[in-house]
Structure 1
Amino acid sequence: MVALAIGSQFPDLIDKPFAWTLGLLPGGRTLTHSVFVAALLLPIAYSLARRFGWPEAGMAFAIGHASHLLSDIPPTAILDRDLSATTFLFWPILEPPQYQTPGSILAGFLRYSMGWYEWVQLGLVVVALIAWYYDGAPGLGYGRRALERITGNRGLSEPER
């Protein structure tokens, strides 16, 4: 679950800070939003995860990353058959679509607005979280144990009786 969550956010975690805050990329949907980078990154991530005995985590990261790229395709690109908004997928061969950049990540959050597409995505997240909860929150115990191993902390425990 953790690998899926990281994979689903990975393109924005790299591209947005490097473009908006550091100015090292030409846009917030370039380097890790490119199918060329995905073609290199995802097999490497899977191979590393497999080497450490976590092939499912490598696959989950790949699914999360690919789903992020697909969800960044605006609905109008499909509905209107206007693929000009999908050029970010082929960066650096094609220039990314021009859109106003906020200047920083904080400014991006402060100016963000929700359209119908974003509300649908948020609804899907809520449905997924409810399904995950009713499925017993798989991965949560593993995450806690991993954090305890890393920090050497046993976490909060109930008072001794």
Structure 2
Amino acid sequence: MWPWGHLAVVYLCYSLHCRRRDWPPRALSVIVLAIGSQFPDLVDKPLAWTFDVLPGGRTLAHSVFVAALLLPTVALAARRFDRRDLGTAFAVGHVSHLLADIPPSAILTADASELTFLVWPLLPPSPYESVDGILAGFLRYSMGWYEWAQLGLVLIALVVWYRDGLPGTGYARDVVERITGRNDAREGI
């Protein structure tokens, strides 16, 4: 699944969870959720495609063994700072990424050979097209039914995010203003 697909899936799940609890999506949780949803690819893709350190783009950070170490560590850190909601948001993002990376064909045909990335390094990564760098991966992008389905999810997620009040944008803007020392509202921009 592509980054925008992962983000759409996890945001729709989070928004539904918030609606069921009758509280609005929280800005910082949405940002951490987004980071968690991208984390496995942010680790594995550069290390495999650009630096040739890993044997594939779904290996180290896609492994349940790394998740078993990473997620409790994140939970402990979140508890330490009294922000368990952020630890949960990261975990939900990370786990949703792993689940969303299971190819539909593996589910439809019950072909477990496409799930080996989940137990890397015990089993070799699932075979898929080799990419000569991240930019090459994007340049060779093509639209099949699965990509169109992801795009549909993205459009639905954008509508839901808008209806939720664009959570995360104000917080991100405030952080950028603090870092740069600017306040666009004061400067008339």
Question: TM (normalized to structure 1)?
Answer: 0.91
Q: Who is 2:184 aligned against?
A: 155
1:72 pairs with one of 89, 97, 101: 101
Query: Cα deviations across residues 5-25 of structure 1 (Å, max 9, x unaligned)?
Result: 111111111101000110110
Runs of at least 5 residues in structure 1 that lack an aligned partner in the other structure: none
Q: Does residue 116 of the first structure (1) align with residue 138 of the second (2)?
A: no
Please tell me the residue identity of whatever aligns with 1:94.
L
Identity %: 64
Please tell me the residue identity of whatever aligns with 2:45.
K
State the Cα RMSD in Å: 1.7
- CA apart distance, 1:158: 6.1
Structure 1 or 2: larger helix share? 2
- CA apart distance, 1:147: 2.4
Runs of at least 5 residues in structure 2 that lack an aligned partner in the other structure: 1-29
Q: Who is 1:15 aligned against?
A: 44
Query: Cα deviations across residues 54-97 of structure 1 (Å, max 9, x unaligned)?
Result: 32122111111111111110111111111111100000111111
Distance in 1 of aligned mates of 2:82 and 2:175:
15
Question: TM (normalized to structure 2)?
Answer: 0.78
Q: Number of residues paired by the alignment?
A: 160
| Alignment map for 1:1-12 (pairs within 5 Å) | 1-12=30-41
- CA apart distance, 1:126: 1.6
